[in-house]
Structure 1
């Protein structure tokens, strides 16, 4: 196997280890042999501080990062130009990109759901458990953008809280650091044989404070900063669950905080999803003292995000324009016109949703949905007389096509 070129290596202090003693908490739940294997000393990671890290980056890697950065900026500008900054569909477009990013981030953790099930979960319809869990990731991403003006320990905890309040069995852990040792890999009874043993929980507050200080620096290329901050966060592993999804929400928060993107969410997780093995390997290499692979992964993911995201925006705008054409002749003050831009971000809806988001009365909301159905913009999908749901099949087709594109890229 060829070795990596030295000009792609970005030196960073690797993790060290410290030794603790372990005794299985519930030995009666395991075999005697497993209890024996998992009793005794184990090594936990100690993260190296990154606050004062001095990046030594080759010209080739810098050029790669700069190219990816330009493409992200161009994507953000394109999304705004296609709609116009005052267009009421710009907010919903950000919402659908955010939901797309959340779905991809969740899929990295083997949590899969369809665009339709996710949209139904947003209006309290449907019964897919994964969709409800992924909605938590959407809330975490929303918190990441909302709190991006000041990335802090509190904002990170808020992202995690928004995520885990929607994950059954973890509500009590939402927004709280873990209070026990965690690990990844074999060994249910203990960490002695695990592939990754996170830092001892007592080290979490100090490590997060160092990470926040690093994020506040203004002298590092943004994509390098995003990649390294994300890798460091995953190494700290501060929560009992949801670390990957929170860490990718943090990446979105940094991109917005640094002004790299302003109007939209960037579907970077879709780019990482293309080759998850390489992504996880890059995190491992980071811990051994080389930030090069994780920086390259984020640069590659950014280019994929910009290219696929641009097509997604264009296809969604085309659906919006087609729907607008179908509504020609409809009274200009009809409530259906207010509903139209909202469909970009929420292609499945009911009267309750319109009442809460647009402040419409129940009968006005119903008339608007019926008018859109009469014009062929929406399809009533339940056939019920009560609890009716309408959906925009064209937008769902676009979102399903986007997901299929990412699947094909990952299968190569």
Structure 2
């Protein structure tokens, strides 16, 4: 039975602190029901909505444009990377981050430190999540390794041995908005959590919703709970085959809709028997909140993929006009370096001739001809990265990603009516 437990906080012995930070007194910790023993009741209308949204996710990830979403999705991890890097203010643009990612495999030194930090953390988030997805069975130790990967600078890796809390004073939990279970309960609750994560008792969206809410309720680490909890959403959806390797930006939507998110978690944290009305209603309301966030994420991702699809058709027309002017056939051969590079650009919108040579397995002259042809057609722009090294950027793709992220950061998901409420890429000057 989910309940609150009484606890007592001793007075702080540190000198020089204001009286409010040296207070002692009673407080209460929340002890949730294990997921494995919690009955779940979903009314027919919510069940239909879950099926509808899951079908939309599958259509998006499995359609002919699914590869575009898979390639572009890593750029939508930027908000996680910004948080992981403790960067404040405006986030670096997609173009700068993409150049920094290129610098991880090629010799490029002229890269901004913010962009380098974000690119590094995008790689960490992606690798860490992919490792969990690939496991036959996830264990608590694997979640701990995820935490240490996401916040390598944190000294206190591993399951917490102290009480933590959310909100209020940094010195005591007496004024906290929420106090998770005491350390004595964390090991057992985490074992139950991964046991549920490894099963398939419920649909993928429901499972992701419950795993995320339970993890944030347990709050098993002294730091990094938010980042790990959001990564677990991607982990569940990919392990269940709903999104494959693509990252659906549900966590970005939840981050934008902070009030609804906190209210949903509050509903989830019922007290009393698992079958009581408060438990059934509270859990269902949280699932509704999560499913609607997923629906918003699908809509925004679908708009991005559709916009990239339209751009690719425009590129085909530009290339045809350019090639006609050059006196060659309008459409390049299907297996040519130019045709293959054109298809690759949504996933790799910043390349060098060496990148194309390596990725496509073609000769350097063929790779160089391809990038120069696409530059001539107005599809790629060039930027000097190092002496003797030219980068080629599909800036229109990167602008679309930046616009999508700006939309995802506004509560109406429309840049015309709601400004971003967290760090986002600045608008690129025309």
Q: Does 1:153 align with 2:140?
A: yes
Shift of 1:107: 7.5
- 1:41 is displaced (CA, Å) by 4.7
1:3 corresponds to: none
- The unaligned stretches of length 5 or more in structure 2 are 104-109, 271-278, 321-327, 419-430
1:270: Cα distance to partner? 3.7
2:65 equivalent in structure 1: 82
CA-based RMSD: 3.4
Residue by residue, what CA displacement relative to the aligned partner does 1:170-222 show, whole Å, maximum 9, x if unpaired?
A: 2x456x33343322212122323222223334433221111111223323233
Partners of 1:108 and 1:164 in 2: how far apart? 10
1:389 alignment counterpart = 391
Name whichever of 235-244 and 117-126 sits farther off: 117-126
How far does the alpha carbon of each residue in 1:126-161 deviate from its partner, in whole angstroms, 9 at most, with x for none? 425377247525532443244325333244234333
Residue in 1 aligned with 2:98?
119
Deviations 1:311-346 (A, max 9, x none): 211222333344455555567766455543442123
Written as runs of structure 1 = structure 2, the 5 A alignment for 1:215-364 is 215-262=197-244, 264-288=246-270, 289=279, 290-327=282-319, 335-350=337-352
CA contact (8 A) 1:153 1:208 kept: yes
Match of 1:36 among 13, 19, 22: 22
Go from structure 1 to structure 2 and tell me whether the alpha carbon gap of 1:180 and 1:342 turns closer, same or farther (over 3 Å shift): farther
Scaled by the length of structure 2, the TM-score of the pair is 0.75
Alignment of 1:206-217 (within 5 A): 206-217=188-199
Residue segments in structure 1 that go unaligned for 5+ positions in a row: 1-12, 84-89
Structure 1 244/35 Cα, relative in aligned 2: closer, same or farther at 3 Å? closer
Distance in structure 2 (CA, Å) of the matches to 1:161 and 1:147: 13
* Distance (Å, rounded) in 2 between the aligned partners of 1:156 and 1:267: 21
Give the number of the structure whose alpha-carbon radius of gyration is greater.
Answer: 2
Question: How far has the Cα of 1:308 moved from its partner?
Answer: 1.8
The alpha-carbon distance between structure 1 residues 203 and 371, as it changes in their structure 2 partners (threshold 3 A), is: farther
| Number of equivalent positions | 382
The equivalent of 1:95 in structure 2 is 71
Going from structure 1 to structure 2, the CA distance change for 1:223 and 1:24 (only over 3 Å counts) comes to: same
Q: Which moved more, 1:282-291 or 1:259-268?
A: 259-268
- SS of the residue 2:35 aligns to: coil
Q: Residues 222 and 199 (structure 1 numbering): CA distance in 2 closer, same or farther, change over 3 Å?
A: same
Q: Deviations over 1:72-122 (max 9, x none)?
A: 222223xx3236xxxxxx2x641322431x235567999662323432332
Q: The residue matched to 1:17 in structure 2 has which SS?
A: strand
